[in-house]
Amino acid sequence: MTDSADDYEHLTPLLSELAGLAEDDPRRPELREELVTGFLPVAKHIARRFAQRGEPQDDLVQVATVGLISAIDRFDPERGSDFLSFAVPTIMGEVRRHFRDTSWSVRVPRRLKELHLAITAATNELSQRAGRAPTPSELAAHLGISRDEVFEGLEASNAYRSSSLDDMLVNTDSTLSLGDTLGEEDAELAGVENREALQPLLRQLPERERAIIVLRFFGNLTQTQIAERVGISQMHVSRLLSRTLAELRAGLLSP
Amino acid sequence: MSGTGPDVTTSHPRIEVTVSENQSSPEIEVRIAARPDHLSVLRAVAADLAMRADFDLDAISDLKMAVDEACATLISRANSPEDQLVCGFAVEADQIHFTAHAPTSSPAAPSRESFGWRVLSSLTDSANTWVAPGDDGVPVLRVDLVKKRLGSVGQ
């Protein structure tokens, strides 16, 4: 690290102050923002270390910043350790997870990657216009390509694992807190016979995955409607749903 | 899966695909050992058929997940991995009709109150399951699903 810990000395009292504030204290957002801005060079520094691995630098800085925010929120000064030794591994973990989650699982030619991106962008645009997912014919007409090319692009999409890149194409300023979409699951689950086994499995899921499962199977929303609410692409919702269902199934089957 | 002529049959040590196409409704039958690692083949067939039938992207994904869920249930309730899972896909004018069956070790069909059933019925327009004795008297679990071109949700 070229950054010296002394550069951030002045932020230490702010960290203690933030940790001491109640969840709903009105000064929280301002303090948090000041801390994020103050520690931003740390996130940028880590993002730079992961450059040249084929992901856009802006994405990496964004992901590292998400890691920084989560470190600021979770840091407990009472534990005695200093913030940087807690934050650096947290931020690195976030960036590593990004690399794990967003990459082509097999080598895909550039033409197909571009086709995949074009189809994702067109899907987002057409869904917003029509309020439902487009068909391959509609995508072909919109993009001015053949249906066979759309099929090729959709098949290539199967080789892509969960993608922040897709989601960057979603034009949304969704400020929805996922917590808002939950909360009714207990009532919904009342009708499900194996809920004693299901509930702990649902609780273990990341908040976004749980929200998607509840909205699809208990709220009866389409994937496109969920995509709009959660602020990610339909294809990403589709991938997350399939993966989460398989996990839940494995969990329900294991004794 | 690109066979378009009548009664094209390809075989593989464990996977057998039969495509028989009449004028309006192509029917595809896949016979496969009841093993979890074969689910990906069935998902791929389901997605490919729905895509080529010009279903919208939500419906394609729904059908793929429903077939996955139904077959996972059939496989988990089969007597052994050597049992044969038989899946039929009929592409009709405004819907895809999926049927599947495999011998089962449990005499009762999956409960309609289970999470798995909730998933199946949310993903399809019609879902049915029952157990009936097969030719040799062994109980056979059957699942029958219909996915319509335009989902009934949010239209």
Asked if A153 has any chain B CB less than 8 Å from its own CB, the reply is: no
- pLDDT at residue B36 greater than cutoff 80: yes
Buried/exposed code over B54-93 (b: 16+ C-beta within 10 A; e: otherwise): bbbbbbbbbbbbbbbbbbbbbbbbbeeeebebbbbbbbee
The residue among A145 and A200 whose pLDDT is bigger is: A145
Which distant-in-sequence residues (6+ apart) come within 8 Å of B40 by Cβ?
Answer: none
Tens of pLDDT along A136-171?
A: 999 999 999 999 999 999 988 776 654 444 454 444
CB-based contact, A224 to chain B, within 8 Å:
yes
What's the rounded Cα separation, in Å, for the pair A50 and A98? 11
Residue A222 to residue B118, Cβ atoms within 8 A: no
Residue whose C-alpha is closest to residue A75's, from A95, A89, A61: A89
- On chain B, the residues whose CB falls within 8 A of the CB of A191 are 113
Q: Do A216 and B122 touch (CB under 8 A)?
A: yes
Smallest Cβ distance to A135: which of B56, B113, B118? B56
Query: Residue A36's CB: how many other CB atoms inside 10 A?
Result: 15
Mutate one of A217, A235, A243 to test the B interface: name it (highest B CB count within 10 A).
A217
Q: Bigger pLDDT: A106 or A219? A: A219
Chain B residues touching A234 at Cβ < 8 A: 57-58, 61
**Chain B residues inside the 8 Å CB shell of A248:** 115
Nearest to A164 by CA among A54, A44, A59: A59
Cα separation, B43 vs B12, in Å, equals 18
Q: Which residue has the tokens 């694992």?
A: A161
Overall average pLDDT of the A4-18 stretch: 82
Q: Which two tokens stand for residue A16?
A: 């203690």
pLDDT of residue B57: 95
Residues on chain B bordering chain A, Cβ-to-Cβ distance under 8 angstroms: 47, 51-52, 54-62, 64-65, 68-69, 72, 76, 111, 113-116, 118-119, 122, 151, 153-155
The ipTM (two decimal places) reads: 0.81
Query: Which of the four pLDDT bands, split at 50, 70 and 90, describes residue B100?
Result: very high
Least confident of A23-37, B15-29, B33-47: B15-29
Q: Are B1 and B48 in contact (CB under 8 A)?
A: yes
Residue of A143, A205, A222 to mutate for B, most B C-beta atoms under 10 A: A222
Taking contacts as CB-CB distances below 8 angstroms, the residues of chain B near A217 are: 115, 118-119, 122
Q: Contact, B57 vs B149, CB < 8 A?
A: no
Per DSSP, which regions of B1-116 are E strands?
A: 8-11, 15-21, 26-33, 84-91, 95-103
pLDDT tier, A250 (very low <50, low <70, confident <90, very high otherwise): confident
pLDDT higher for A80 or B52?
Answer: B52
Average pLDDT over residues B74-79: 92
Higher pLDDT, A209 or A55: A209
Q: Tell me the pLDDT band of B124, cut-offs 50, 70 and 90.
A: very high
pLDDT digits 0-9 by tens, A108-147: 677 887 888 889 889 989 998 998 999 999 999 999 999 9
Give residue A56's pLDDT: 67
Check A132 against B68: CB less than 8 A apart. Answer: no
Q: What's the pLDDT score for residue A1?
A: 45
The set of residues, in sequence order, having a beta carbon less than 8 Å from that of A198 and lying 6+ positions away, is: A189, A192, A248, A252, B115
Task: Give the number of residues written for chain B.
Answer: 155
Q: pTM score, two decimals? A: 0.68
Q: How confident is the model at residue A55 (pLDDT cuts 50, 70, 90)?
A: low
CB pairs below 8 Å between A and B: how many?
85
Averaged confidence pLDDT in chain B: 85
Query: Residue B26's pLDDT band (boundaries 50, 70, 90)?
Result: low
Rg, C-alpha atoms of chain B: 15
Given this model, what pLDDT does residue A169 score?
47
pLDDT at A173 over 60: no
- The yes-or-no verdict on residue A183 having pLDDT over 70 is no
Paired tokens of B40: 């990906």
Spatial separation of the C-alpha atoms in residues A188 and A192, rounded to whole Å: 8
A57 touches chain B (CB under 8 A): no
Please, what are the domains in chain A?
6-103 (1.20.120.1810), 106-160 (1.10.10.10), 195-253 (1.10.10.10)
Sorted by where each starts, the structural domains of chain B and their CATH numbers stand as: 8-148 (3.30.565.10)
pLDDT for B107 beyond 70? yes
Least confident of A4-8, A16-20, A215-219: A4-8
Edge-to-edge strand ranges of the sheet holding B84-91: B8-11, B15-21, B26-33, B84-91, B95-103, B139-148, B126-133
- Cα separation of A232 and A171, whole Å? 9
Average pLDDT over chain A, rounded to an integer: 80
B153 and A220 in contact by Cβ < 8 A? yes
